[in-house]
Structure 1
């Protein structure tokens, strides 16, 4: 790893967890190159939010959702 990257890494690790999370979101977004796929995901998220607010679907607690995913995709 280059010295410049090491310095940047050290600076980032001094940020608050919230700031690091925001930075991570921005970095990941900068890697997204498929605008069409991103638009589809945003539409899906918007629909799900509306369905949840309208009571059409029920929320699943995180621990249950993770357990279901781990059962479906072991390893």
Structure 2
């Protein structure tokens, strides 16, 4: 059992564990300035942002990616 949790994670259902993972990720996204990035990661993000700015229509929408993966109805 993780010391900060009151329940053994392995005792949760798969659905509950997925929800826990989503909740944890959402809590990280709520404070993006606290996510540490090294210089190489920052450069890569800047590079990708510049590519997007030069051609914003390049790439795929999330909806089309989900369709290709068979994740959407």
- If each structure's helix is expressed as a fraction of its own residues, which one has the higher value? 1
Fold conserved (TM > 0.5)? no
Using the size of structure 2 for normalisation, the TM-score is 0.37
